[in-house]
Structure 1
């Protein structure tokens, strides 16, 4: 059950009639189609006019249907006992699945036992990592290798590098490749992204993060790298004492709310140097290397924007904050105050770096670098689950990506990314019954993805009025994280 989402009365056999089916794979619009769902699968997509006996009918005339949207960088299950508000906001925004970017042994065990919370309308957990690789479990090569082996044993879908060094990152990556488990995440400051790509890294998150990817596109690369300091964590207990893991994760959580609040003068200078010495040819060579090695990118532009403009009214006065749990907002507001105390020169460097991030995203897209859409929602300051994916679409469009590319990044590309092309990502027989009905054409503008007439999740249908009621219940009792 859910505090916010009422059970659907439209399920079983459902017919979406006379709708235009949009196929993100090839960009085709096919008007006049009947989409039939039985249970949790699409059973047929045919020309309008078939029998409707025994089916709930959803009117699709003048509308467009696309596969349900995927957020490929989230932390919803950081609070597994209180995901209801987050999941409800996702449903209301057409987000039907996600990749969990931070897990643990208990989460993996709960998933294998089928005991993860699943309130009404919950999205599909498409993949999850185990514990982040940090100095807590990967401070040495031996520790990093052991952590990868443990996650492989415990059933993680991939390993996420959080805070590592070049040495521990590459050791973990080598072991992951040996075991056949994917590894992606944050590149350490002292690692060349070209080296990571050639070594077989699965995905790079947040365009780095930091300056490491941008150094590779600089005419002063060696100088940028030399001036880019490796961040140091707060002291983490090395001795196993009761509660040490929880203490360490609390310290890490305080940093990840907005990592930009800890930007040093050295890092700020590295941003300025990299951005001022940008070399388009080197950027294109880097992109070609990522294409060659199928090095996926999840830019999370909304995340880097909320970091680098941490005290902007756009984020601090966002009216959608009313959906967030009060304790979450208190954490966010503390980070805003910390950000506002940064030196003006540091904040200017962060602001100015935004243009470089948009340019790099466009360069990757133009080169055909494989990319998926993600938000880093749940724990990151200023990011509202569900709504944030549409904010991400706005920023991708700002970077110059066309509507079809954006649609692919949240539908067919996540399926390819996870190796599940036969399960979701298209409106076709046999695919998951996860659909979004739109009042506007998503191939004409990415903003059409906001014009949601209704959402089908796992074969159950919620109309626009149903979804509006969900959002109002959350506003009345904020509980998203």
Structure 2
């Protein structure tokens, strides 16, 4: 059950009649199609005219249908006892699956037992990590190796590096490779991204973060790295005592609301130095290396924008804040005030770095670096679950990515990223019945992806009117995180 999403009136055997099927794999639009669904799966895709015997009929009337969207960087299950509001916003925005970027043993056990919350219309948990690698569990090489072993034993799908050093990161990566579990996440400040790629890192989040990746595209790489080396790991307890885990997570939560609020003058200088010495040839060489080693990128541009423009009215006065839980908004506002107190030169450096992030994203896309779309929603200041994926689409377009690439980054590429190529992300017989009906052509402009006329999740259909009712319920009793 859900506080916000009512049981759909259309489910089971459904005929979506007379639609234009969009295939993200090759960009084909096939008009005049009937999509038949039964038992949560697509059973046929044929020319319009299929008999509607015993089927609920949804009239497409020539609208566009695409596979529903995946958010490949999310933290919804940081609050597993209260996911209903976030899940409802995701459904209303066509988001039907996600990669959970922070977990723990209890979460992994709950998933194994099938006891994770599943309110009506809930998205699918496609993959989850265990505990983040931080100084709490990975302050030494031995600790990092042991943490990877424990997560592998507990059934994590991947390991996420959160706050590590070059030494502990590479030790964890080596052990992950030995065990056959993927490792991705944040690159430490003292690690060359080329070394991480050659060592087999699975994914790099947030284009770094920091200037780690951008240093490799600088004509003054040594100077940038020396300036960035001043960045220190936060003061997280390294000794396991009763309550240490909870204390560490509380500290981490406070920091991740907006890490940019802790930007030092030295770090700001590193941004300026990297941006002022950008070398396109080196950027393209880095991109080619990522292609060679299949080093995935999840840019989360919406996340870096909310960080680097932390006190901008675009975020602090976003009307969609009305969907967020009051406690969440208080944390966001506290973070915004802290950001506004940074020195003007530091804020300028953060603002100016945005152009470099867009340029790097475009360079990676042009080179064919594998990329997926993600938002870092659920805990990060200014990011509204569900809606944020469409914000991410806007920023990817701002970087210069074409509509088909953007569509792929949230449909077929997540399937390939997770090792499930061909299992979801297309509209074909046998595929999951997770669809979005659009009023506008998503290949003419990425903005068509937000023109949602209806969403099908696991064979159940919610019309635009029903989705608007969901949003109204969330706004009346704000509960998203």
**What is the TM-score of this pair, normalised by structure 1?**
0.99
Q: Is the 8 A contact 2:434 2:458 kept in 1?
A: yes
Alignment partners' CA distance in 1, 2:194 and 2:3: 47
Partner SS state of residue 281, structure 2: helix
Of the structure 1 ranges 223-232 and 349-358, higher mean CA displacement relative to structure 2 is found in 223-232
Measured against aligned partners, the alpha-carbon deviations of 1:73-117 in whole angstroms (never above 9, x if no partner) come to: 000000000000000000000000000000000000000000000
CA distance in 2: counterparts of 1:422 and 1:302, whole angstroms: 28
Question: Helix, strand or coil: the match of 2:19?
Answer: strand
- Once residues 212 and 233 of structure 2 are traced to their aligned partners in structure 1, the CA distance between those partners, rounded to angstroms, is 18
CA contact (8 A) 1:229 1:266 kept: no
Structure 1 segment 178-257 matched on structure 2, within 5 A: 178-257=178-257
* Contact preservation (8 Å) 1:13, 1:38: yes
Which residue pairs with 1:449 in the alignment?
449
For residue 239 of structure 1, report the CA deviation from its aligned partner.
3.4
What's the C-alpha RMSD, in Å, of the aligned pairs? 0.7
Q: Is the 8 A contact 1:22 1:29 kept in 2?
A: yes
The match for 2:111 is 111
Distance 2:223 2:422 in 1: 47
Which residue of the partner structure matches residue 268 of structure 2?
A: 268
> Does 2:22 correspond to 1:8?
no
Decide whether the 8 Å contact of 2:8 with 2:461 is kept in 1: yes
Separation of aligned partners in 2, 1:53 and 1:237: 64
Partner of 2:439: 439
Mapped contact 1:190–1:230 kept (Cα < 8 A): no
Deviation at 1:349, TM superposition (A): 0.1
**Matching of residue 324 in structure 1 with residue 309 in structure 2:** no
Deviation of 1:422 (Å): 2.6
1:230 is displaced (CA, Å) by 4.9
Name the CA distance, whole Å, in 2 between partners of 1:181 and 1:237: 27
Distance in structure 1 (CA, Å) of the matches to 2:374 and 2:234: 28
Deviations 1:151-174 (Å, cap 9, x if unpaired)? 000000000000000000000000
* Residue of structure 2 in register with 1:409 after alignment: 409
- CA-to-partner distance for each residue in 1:17-59, whole Å, 9 max, x for gaps? 1100000000000001110110111111111111110000011
1:234 CA displacement? 4.4
The answer to whether the Cα contact below 8 Å between 2:135 and 2:237 also exists between their aligned partners in 1 is no
8 Å CA contact 2:231, 2:267 repeated in 1? no
Inter-partner Cα distance in structure 2 for 1:316 and 1:226: 34
SS in 2 for 1:227: helix
Q: Is the 8 A contact 2:185 2:203 kept in 1?
A: yes
| 1:135 Cα deviation from its structure 2 partner | 0.2
2-structure distance, mates of 1:462, 1:127: 25
Any conservation in 1 of the 2:136–2:240 contact (CA below 8 Å)? no
Pairwise CA distance, 1:9: 1.4
1:230 and 1:14, CA in 2 relative to 1: closer, same or farther beyond 3 A?
farther
Deviations for 1:164-186, whole angstroms, at most 9, x for unmatched residues?
Answer: 00000000000000000000000
Counterpart CA distance in 2 for 1:210 and 1:154 is: 31
Q: Secondary structure at the match of 2:228?
A: coil
- Contact in 2 for aligned 1:411/1:426 (Cα 8 Å): yes
> Is 2:139–2:238's contact at 8 Å kept on the other side of the alignment?
no
Alpha-carbon distance, 1:189 to partner: 0.3
Q: Distance in 1 between matches of 2:71 and 2:238?
A: 35
- The structure-2 alpha-carbon separation of the partners of 1:217 and 1:239, relative to structure 1 and needing over 3 Å to count, comes to closer
Structure 1 residue 242 displacement after superposition: 2.0
In 2: Cα distance, 1:43 partner to 1:230 partner: 57
Q: CA deviation at 1:408?
A: 0.2
Instruction: Give 1:238 shift.
Output: 3.4
Q: CA deviation at 1:233?
A: 4.2
Q: SS of the counterpart of 2:297?
A: strand
Counterparts of 1:72 and 1:350, CA distance in 2: 25
Partner of 1:80: 80
Normalization by structure 2: what TM-score?
0.99
Q: Which residue matches 1:144? A: 144
Q: Which moves more between the two structures, 225-234 or 180-189? A: 225-234
| Deviation sequence 1:412-451 (CA, Å, 0-9, x none) | 0000000112321000111111000000100000000110
8 Å Cα contact 1:18/1:60 also seen in 2: yes
Secondary structure at the counterpart of residue 144 of structure 1: helix
User: Could you tell me which residue of structure 2 aligns to residue 281 of structure 1?
Assistant: 281
* Residue 229 of structure 1, CA deviation: 3.0
**1:347 and 2:347 correspond:** yes
Q: CA deviation at 1:277?
A: 0.2
- Provide the rounded CA distance (Å) in 2 between the counterparts of 1:177 and 1:239: 27
Length, aligned pairs only: 481
| 2:318 aligned with 1:313 | no
C-alpha distance 238-95 of structure 1, shift in aligned 2 (>3 A): same
Distance 1:401 1:249 in 2: 36
Q: Does the 8 A contact of 1:291 with 1:370 survive in 2?
A: yes
Tell me if the contact between 1:41 and 1:429 (Cα under 8 Å) persists in the aligned partners. yes
The answer to whether the 8 A contact 1:71-1:99 is kept is yes
The residue number in structure 2 matching 1:459 is: 459
Q: Is the 8 A contact 2:136 2:239 kept in 1?
A: no
Q: Secondary structure at the match of 2:8?
A: coil
Query: 1:12 Cα shift?
Result: 0.8
Classify the secondary structure of the residue corresponding to 1:45.
strand
